[in-house]
Structure 1
Amino acid sequence: MFCLKISVFFLLLTRLIFQIESTSTDINGGEKQCYIQDTCEGCLGTNYNCAWCTDKMYEIFPRCLTRNELIQNNCSLENIWENKQEIDVISDEELQDFQNETNRAIQMKPQKIRLKLVKSQTQQLKLTYRPALNNPLDLYYLMDLTWTMRDDKKTLVKLGAKLSQALQNLTGNYRIGFGSFADKPIMPMIMPHAKENPCAAEGHTCEPTYSFRHHLPLTDDVDKFVKSVKKSRVTGNLDNLEGGLDALMQVIVCPDKIGWKEEARKIVVLATDGFMHFAGDGILAGINLQNDRKCHLDELGEYTESLVFDYPSLEETYRELGRRKISVIFAVTENVVQTYQQMSNLMDGISNVEKLSLDSSNILELIRTSYETFLKRVKFIDNSPTFIEIMYETNCGGQLENLKKRNYCTDLKMGKEVEFYINITLKDFPSDGNYKRTIRIEDPGLSEHLQLEIEIQKPCPCDEEEVDSELERQLCTENGVFHCGKCKCNEGWGGALCNCDLSTTNSTVSIEDECRQPFKNPVQLGRICSERGECDCGKCYCFPGYTGNYCECLECLNCDPEIADCFCGKCVCKYGWSGNRCNCKAEVDDKCKTPTGEICSERGECQCGKCLCKDPFVGTFCEIGWENENKLCQYYEPCVKCIILQKLGTYVCENVTDICSNSDKQQFQYSLVTELNDDVARCVIRLINNDDVKCDHIFSYYRPDSSNNYLTIQVNDCTPVNPLVMGGFISLFTFLLGLIVLIIYICCMRAADAREYAKFLEERTHSTLLESPLYENPIREYLVPQLEEDDMTI
């Protein structure tokens, strides 16, 4: 038994020595807390770098250290449990546009990652997205074929030739389908007598009312689509509320009937000019069964259970759209746009609203605009549980200057990559004990996704069975069993090595609680040994630098016992000494006294003749406070006021001697200057002179010791200007200025005239004088030649 006590003593001694070394050498604040932990769970949860040793032959008592420290102290590698994050990219295929050979496009990379998460630690992944070119498009046109939409049907038939070209411009790999809807064929959605011909009131014959009819599966033959639309017939119902959600749900949940392709971008265009019935409206017709979200289309494409199941809710429709990766475009007329916009806001990411003209003539432009909108935006969502936090960061391919916390981007360019940085943090352990999770990160409109296979590191992976052997009991002083690096003590024993006899302690208080400092509230206790020491059998063994029964006090540093007493880490000065270390004689405190006798203006502490001011006070004596409020300025102001008034001859202070002296009757010395230096503290005093003008004067103070006070005063002349003199000066200045301007103007005019005259003279010397044709004689004379006689003979 004696040998056993000796071994326990040496173990405790070794433990304390190691803790001393660790305290002096640790740098990282979190790692310094490792050796305090005495359980595997507490060790791994304290800091990521903390590790736990379960080696039975480990001789150093602190089993919670860093990995390197445990190895240095001969803990075998196979017995070191540590926090270890892991990331393994399983599938990382390169991005590619749609390939006919493989019948697929790759728009996201990587595709699958395996992660191991540690509590309170964050793993970052990079997800790259690029919109693929020529991606397949499945477009299903779901049309309201009630009476008011008859013109829209005709327009759609006329646009058939252009529809092929419009879809070809979007993608070379498209298919189109067609379906129509009206409402539930039952009262009060229709009138019973008009069931076979709901258009009788309009004087026309039309198709009996039906809920939803699937006319054409998805096909790449546009002619078939046009023929199908042309062949369909208009029907009617009673009100302006249609069964669009009934039809939309069947389009979603009947992939085989509709012909949806998994790899295609799936879009439903729902065209209508009316509102929709929602879940609960079926009760009006006695239909109270909740929509079962299953396919009920017969061989002819008719929805057979419209009178059995209620309309689906918007939430049910949204979930099915997201689950099956289908987007919807609400092409609606202006009178119902606002209502459908509110619906679209609740179906964010997978829906869009476009304004449809009264005859649907702009439907091709709406399809193009909406499709491009879906292509140019991406928004990632995930199904992570509450204890796993996933945050997204991106700059949207350079659209933003820096990374922003957002999971979406808009206005993307085709073929351009966008990077998202995904931060995954384990906030807590799962309460159900399931430490493996599968999380999908995806865009609601894409068939692709990133799959995260997550393994959560358990609080402490000590799974070996407890063994009650001689070695395990010796490690715990024969009073317990060693398991997972820790002693599990027998009843009546406690302590890290089960070496504390609980029968000798207060039975109402645990051993650890005896090492906790009690507070005023008896129920509240401090931490074990203030986390500055080790508790052993109810007694604290403090780490270096700490002292006290609970290690609650710092040790006094440089505290001379001849001039001070140490009290819980603070030097309490003996008479005649002051300062933090009591190394200053008390008489030097006179240098911290203001003329009023206050020490540091009662705003700080005097340390060896120098004031250490409390925030926010500043100044030699801590006299300057908020908004430059200054105690000494206020103190010297009466004296300075007397001096200035006497200087200006305004007033003579009879008691200036008393005003300008301190409590010891020492006179203030002062000097008058024209301007103060810029590097001195300034005080401002405002006085009213004989001319009732407020004038600011400036002064500064200097106090080299407790008996001498020096004031430097700048007296300003604020005599007002005589208005008559000022008016005369302004008038004279204005007259002279006008006269100068006039002279300059005249000189400029004369110079201009001289230039013009010189130019005239020069032109005259080179000109030729011509007589005006007005003065020429209008009569002209011509002389006929006289013929000779010979010439007159014939």
Structure 2
Amino acid sequence: MLQSDCLRGLILLLVGNHVYTQDQCLKASVNSCGDCITSGPGCAWCKDLNFTKQGEQEAVRCDTAAVLKEKGCSSIIAPKNNLNKISIKPLSAGPNPVQLYPQEIELNLRPGKPHTFSVEFQRAEGYPVDLYYLMDLSYSMKDDLENVKKLGSDLLNELKKKTGNARIGFGSFVDKTLLPFTDTSEVKLRRPCTDKFEPCQPAFGFQHVLSLTPDGNTFKDMVAKQHISGNLDPPEGSLDAIMQAAVCMKEIGWGKSTRLLVLATDDGFHMAGDGKLAAILEPNQGTCQLVGNKYSKSNIWDYPSVGQIAQKLEEQNIQPIFAVTKKMESVYKSLSQLIPKSAVGVLSDDSSNVVNLILDAYNNLTSEVIMAHDSLPNFLSIKYTSICRDGEKLRDKGRCPNVTIGQKVSFDVTVTAEACIKNKTFNIGPLGFNEKLKVTVSTRCECECDDTNKPHSHCQNNGVVVCGGCRCNKGHIGQRCECKVDQKDEASLRAQCRKENGTECEGKGDCLCGRCQCHKTDGNSHYYGEFCECDDEHCELFNNTQCAGHGKCRCGECKCDPGYEGNACNCAISNDACIENGNVCNNRGTCLCGKCQCQRGYMIPFCKECPTCQAPCQQSASCVECLAFESGPFEKNCSKACGHLKVSVIEQLLKGDCRVKDKEGCWMTFTMTEQLGFDKYFVNVRKSRDCPEGPNIAAIVGGSLAGVALIGLLILLIIKACLYASDLREWRKFEKDRKLEKLSGTNPLFQNATTTIQNPTFSGDS
């Protein structure tokens, strides 16, 4: 059964996204009634016993109902789509309002055949509201926190005026407590605030403060206990906080209500991938990880992606309201475009307008009804048509704006199954509301023919009738179960009817005792060949004529009359239109149907020009050198290696396309003109080559010696000058000292005795 369903799904996929109509039946491989009705919604099956003739394939039973009637069929099977309503509570208000009708249905569909049903929605007065206030407590939000402490009760009271039943909760966030997001020094982790006198709580990622409660005083008291915190970089861990607020349903206390999540911040947000800056490589898993009301995986999991956030908010029917500062408005409006049923409001400098902002956003969100579905099973598609007011229909839209309380709107929902499925479910409902319509889809892929399981004379009493055809007992095969074989032989006999283990008789005949009995084609002839692989009706057309009228169709291929060729015999065998200067396509292509099929980038009509081709100057240099100057690497086998070139040496070239160095470093100048065919050139080479002059050895040596002598002489002169200057300086000093001696009468070099000794016995007398 599973293989059959897969085969039918494959057949439908091969058919593609075809737009089916009731008068179409695109048959593929049809061997049974089930195959037929899954081939397309326009297909029907004839179960008359004698509808098929001997040797005729069962596929002729499958066609549109109109065609089958024309052929005389009296018993036609064409299943229709069916809808069964399981739960149909009427729309109502009150304590337990019902806003969506119906609540559960079952669809039994034919593959490929759309079915449309209506869904109604009516906003009920007094529908409860849950609002969770998620606040950024980074240091820049200090003034905003003070105002939220004062405005909590006012916000709850205003919501109760709208619905009569409202609850409010509170959570806060900053960022991951890792570098580069937060200063990780021990002192800063305990107290990240810059003002040492400011009450400040330690750095944290996200913390749940207050579950949803109808008591405004409790909200006021709990928020009053909150203090500001801080981090390093401007973007915050907003998405971490939103994810936990959305998935921690029990901890937050979300109820059966309109769920609002208010995010108040003055900065942007980190997203998936930013965690790598702190060596966080594990992706966000999107599950609740609150331990002690704090996000325990903040420093382990990366930030969630915007796609994850949008998915979780939609799954939990939570509508976010981004209350942000003016400078962040454009950022969060871009984010809002990626999240259905979200709104953006601009906070004042101190968040004093937060109540009005949230109320306006609530009115806008709840007044727009967007019908949507969750993830669809494979092979199912869905479309919506909105009927919003006064019978006006909005095609391919599941949206109604400005819906007031008590107003009823409806949506035509069209569901199509593209393949066979069984008991696949999905939900439809307005975004932001918990009420959903449960849809269970199955397909009608088997025919209900009311057959008995008794042997039937139509099947030679060797099988039973199933929807007009025979299902043979073991040991019997054939269209009417007329061939008897042993069980061991049956598989081998059927194998003889398969070409290269393919389809039995290529699906164009019946296997009778190991031989294919071919069916008729769509024309007046029969399929033929050992495996019924051939027919003479399906060859290529040209001008809507098979084989262009210049050949015969044989086994699916055109056999052309003399003088014609081509897949459809549409080309006369003649090269006249491809000849220029006596050559077919300049020997650079082939002539087909009177047109050149050029190669290597050459252009039609005669493969004469090639815009992308360039003369192979560098590759031909060695050959040009040996042919023109009898030198170079090919000198010894020049004629053999360079036979593709014809070289002519001339005195002067007006223009040289190629300029290449030879083996000796001289410049050769030449032009290359391509000849017929490929890689054959005629080369004109300038006789003279431009060679660089050799070095003047004598001048180099003489100049070098002279330079060395000059440098040596210069050094000697410098040394002599330094010695002369030193001697002159000493002489002048000596002369100066001599002049001083003559002026004072004393020798400046003479020094008096430092000690005088007197002899006591000396009287001074001589």
TM-score under structure 1 length normalisation? 0.54
1:430-469: CA deviation from partner (whole Å, max 9, x where unpaired): 6xxx444222222331211122211123287879994247
For 1:452, the equivalent position in structure 2 comes to: 439
1:325-363: CA deviation from partner (whole Å, max 9, x where unpaired): 2111110010111101111111122x2111111111111
CA contact (8 A) 1:318 1:347 kept: yes
Q: Choose the corresponding residue for 2:320, options 307, 325, 328.
A: 328
CA contact (8 A) 2:34 2:445 kept: no
CA contact (8 A) 2:156 2:168 kept: no
For 2:361, the equivalent position in structure 1 comes to: 370
Shift in alpha-carbon separation, 1:252–1:465, aligned structure 2, 3 A: farther
Report the Cα offset of residue 270 of structure 1: 0.7
For 2:401, the equivalent position in structure 1 comes to: 410
Q: Percent identity, aligned pairs only?
A: 31
For 2:536, the equivalent position in structure 1 comes to: 514
What CA distance in whole angstroms lies between the structure 2 residues aligned with 1:401 and 1:474? 57
CA contact (8 A) 2:25 2:40 kept: no
For 1:569, the equivalent position in structure 2 comes to: none
For 1:138, the equivalent position in structure 2 comes to: 130
For 1:302, the equivalent position in structure 2 comes to: 294
What CA distance in whole angstroms lies between the structure 2 residues aligned with 1:285 and 1:49? 61
Shift in alpha-carbon separation, 1:158–1:294, aligned structure 2, 3 A: same
Determine if the alignment matches structure 1 residue 265 to structure 2 residue 258. Answer: yes
Q: Over the residues paired in the alignment, what is the CA RMSD in angstroms?
A: 4.3
What CA distance in whole angstroms lies between the structure 1 residues aligned with 2:546 and 2:314? 52
Kindly provide the amino acid, as one letter, of the partner of residue 320 in structure 2: V
CA contact (8 A) 1:476 1:487 kept: no
What secondary structure does 2:295 align onto? coil
Report the Cα offset of residue 424 of structure 1: 2.0
Shift in alpha-carbon separation, 1:518–1:216, aligned structure 2, 3 A: closer
What CA distance in whole angstroms lies between the structure 1 residues aligned with 2:48 and 2:474? 15
Determine if the alignment matches structure 1 residue 494 to structure 2 residue 517. Answer: yes
Report the Cα offset of residue 152 of structure 1: 1.3
For 1:711, the equivalent position in structure 2 comes to: none
Determine if the alignment matches structure 1 residue 87 to structure 2 residue 83. Answer: yes
CA contact (8 A) 2:508 2:519 kept: no
1:589-623: CA deviation from partner (whole Å, max 9, x where unpaired): xxxxxxxxxxxxxxxxxxxxxxxxxxxxxxxxxxx
Kindly provide the amino acid, as one letter, of the partner of residue 439 in structure 2: L
Determine if the alignment matches structure 1 residue 172 to structure 2 residue 144. Answer: no
Shift in alpha-carbon separation, 1:33–1:224, aligned structure 2, 3 A: closer
Q: Tell me which moved more, 410-419 or 504-513.
A: 504-513
What secondary structure does 2:419 align onto? coil
What CA distance in whole angstroms lies between the structure 2 residues aligned with 1:371 and 1:29? 47
Shift in alpha-carbon separation, 1:148–1:392, aligned structure 2, 3 A: same
For 1:286, the equivalent position in structure 2 comes to: 279
What CA distance in whole angstroms lies between the structure 2 residues aligned with 1:32 and 1:281? 55
What CA distance in whole angstroms lies between the structure 1 residues aligned with 2:475 and 2:199? 99
Kindly provide the amino acid, as one letter, of the partner of residue 167 in structure 2: R
Q: How many residues align?
A: 484
Kindly provide the amino acid, as one letter, of the partner of residue 410 in structure 1: P
Kindly provide the amino acid, as one letter, of the partner of residue 63 in structure 1: R
Q: Choose the corresponding residue for 1:237, options 222, 227, 231.
A: 231
1:560-579 maps to which residues of 2 (within 5 A)? none
Shift in alpha-carbon separation, 1:449–1:359, aligned structure 2, 3 A: same
For 1:356, the equivalent position in structure 2 comes to: 347
Shift in alpha-carbon separation, 1:284–1:47, aligned structure 2, 3 A: closer
What secondary structure does 2:291 align onto? coil
1:482-527: CA deviation from partner (whole Å, max 9, x where unpaired): 99999554432323499xxx9x99637836623445646999999x
CA contact (8 A) 2:325 2:347 kept: yes
Shift in alpha-carbon separation, 1:524–1:223, aligned structure 2, 3 A: farther
1:83-162 maps to which residues of 2 (within 5 A)? 83-97=79-93, 99-100=94-95, 104-162=96-154
Shift in alpha-carbon separation, 1:508–1:243, aligned structure 2, 3 A: same
Report the Cα offset of residue 405 of structure 1: 2.5
Shift in alpha-carbon separation, 1:266–1:465, aligned structure 2, 3 A: farther
Report the Cα offset of residue 290 of structure 1: 1.5
TM-score under structure 2 length normalisation? 0.56
Determine if the alignment matches structure 1 residue 397 to structure 2 residue 419. Answer: no
Shift in alpha-carbon separation, 1:475–1:515, aligned structure 2, 3 A: farther
Report the Cα offset of residue 45 of structure 1: 5.8
Report the Cα offset of residue 46 of structure 1: 6.8
Report the Cα offset of residue 377 of structure 1: 0.9
What secondary structure does 2:290 align onto? coil
Shift in alpha-carbon separation, 1:74–1:30, aligned structure 2, 3 A: closer
What CA distance in whole angstroms lies between the structure 2 residues aligned with 1:63 and 1:485? 14
What secondary structure does 1:200 align onto? coil
Report the Cα offset of residue 122 of structure 1: 1.8
What secondary structure does 1:327 align onto? strand
Q: Tell me which moved more, 146-155 or 455-464.
A: 455-464
What secondary structure does 2:445 align onto? coil
Shift in alpha-carbon separation, 1:413–1:524, aligned structure 2, 3 A: farther
What secondary structure does 1:186 align onto? coil
Kindly provide the amino acid, as one letter, of the partner of residue 467 in structure 1: C
Report the Cα offset of residue 219 of structure 1: 0.6
Report the Cα offset of residue 244 of structure 1: 1.4
For 1:534, the equivalent position in structure 2 comes to: none
Shift in alpha-carbon separation, 1:246–1:479, aligned structure 2, 3 A: same
CA contact (8 A) 1:55 1:485 kept: no
Unaligned runs of 5+ in 1: 1-27, 527-537, 540-794
CA contact (8 A) 1:143 1:272 kept: yes
Determine if the alignment matches structure 1 residue 213 to structure 2 residue 227. Answer: no
What secondary structure does 1:105 align onto? coil
CA contact (8 A) 2:22 2:42 kept: no
Determine if the alignment matches structure 1 residue 429 to structure 2 residue 419. Answer: yes
For 1:198, the equivalent position in structure 2 comes to: 192
Report the Cα offset of residue 473 of structure 1: 4.4
What secondary structure does 1:52 align onto? strand
For 1:252, the equivalent position in structure 2 comes to: 246
Q: Choose the corresponding residue for 1:52, options 42, 45, 51.
A: 45
Q: Choose the corresponding residue for 1:222, options 181, 191, 216.
A: 216
Unaligned runs of 5+ in 2: 1-20, 449-465, 495-503, 549-554, 557-766
Kindly provide the amino acid, as one letter, of the partner of residue 529 in structure 2: S
Kindly provide the amino acid, as one letter, of the partner of residue 250 in structure 1: Q
Kindly provide the amino acid, as one letter, of the partner of residue 325 in structure 1: N
Kindly provide the amino acid, as one letter, of the partner of residue 78 in structure 2: E
Shift in alpha-carbon separation, 1:417–1:105, aligned structure 2, 3 A: same
1:35-46 maps to which residues of 2 (within 5 A)? 40=33, 43-44=36-37
CA contact (8 A) 1:49 1:83 kept: no
